[in-house]
Amino acid sequence: DSGVTQTPKHLITATGQRVTLRCSPRSGDLSVYWYQQSLDQGLQFLIQYYNGEERAKGNILERFSAQQFPDLHSELNLSSLELGDSALYFCASSPRTSGRSTETQYFGPGTRLLVL
Amino acid sequence: GENVEQHPSTLSVQEGDSAVIKCTYSDSASNYFPWYKQELGKGPQLIIDIRSNVGEKKDQRIAVTLNKTAKHFSLHITETQPEDSAVYFCAAIYGSSNTGKLIFGQGTTLQVKP
């Protein structure tokens, strides 16, 4: 158990809908990362937040957005869902107390999204 | 571009044999290289990592080597056991020093046959 929690574990929805995935980082971790894992694209970085502020962005679609709240939990919002958005979505966290980029990222168990 | 190449994509070994997985990266500024193990239905779990100020790191049966000049790094598992069977991912950190963007390899499915 990494200490990172994600809800829900599974999500089934229809095309065009909007969903929210939630992540609670390890106690004390300030940075939260979101990754998407699909069969054809592998594990891809979406976005990073540090203490409530966006720090880095990957190839995240405009239909996707995220935020980190004052209690440090994070939410990933996916809207106008398409069949191709079906994937595993992972959240990771790291301490980032020093500002360095070489801290270990601990992954949560993921949310499996199926768009029908 | 931001790229990590990982080989082989599948690897089958007999229990007790060694397994080696290799990765190459493209950004010479990358300075952190973790390896993750992912079991079915679970999230990636860090098994070992190496920073660019060292060339080798070992943890029991697992070792990682880094060649910064050639921009490649490798995972070595000795005395493999059936419970080592999983998908292994290498990764490299990309971006500025303030970010933690990990770029992952395509993964290696390791099967250890009893």
Cross-chain CB nearest to B104 (options A42, A48, A104): A42
Question: Which H, E and C letters describe B33-66, residue by residue?
Answer: EEEEEECCCCCCEEEEEEECCCCEEEECCEEEEE
- Is B89–A2 a contact, with Cβ atoms under 8 angstroms apart? no
Asked if the C-beta of A104 comes within 8 angstroms of chain B's C-beta atoms, the answer is yes
Spans of chain A, pLDDT less than 70: 96-102
Most A CBs within 10 Å: which of B32, B102, B103, B109, as the mutation test of the A interface? B102
What pLDDT does A98 receive? 52
Q: Are B38 and B47 in contact (CB under 8 A)?
A: no
Q: Rounded distance, CA A48 to CA A101, Å?
A: 12
Secondary structure of chain A: what % helix, strand, coil (to 5)?
5, 50, 45
Question: Is residue B9 very low, low, confident or very high in pLDDT (cuts 50, 70, 90)?
Answer: very high
- Chain B environment of A33 (Cβ under 8 Å): 100, 102
Question: Is residue B31 very low, low, confident or very high in pLDDT (cuts 50, 70, 90)?
Answer: confident
Q: Rounded distance, CA A11 to CA B22, Å?
A: 35
Q: Rounded distance, CA B34 to CA B54, Å?
A: 13
Q: Rounded distance, CA A102 to CA A96, Å?
A: 9
What pLDDT does A97 receive? 56
Asked if the C-beta of B14 comes within 8 angstroms of chain A's C-beta atoms, the answer is no
Q: Is the pLDDT of residue B103 over 90?
A: yes
A29-43, A93-107, B47-61, B92-106: segment of lowest average pLDDT: A93-107
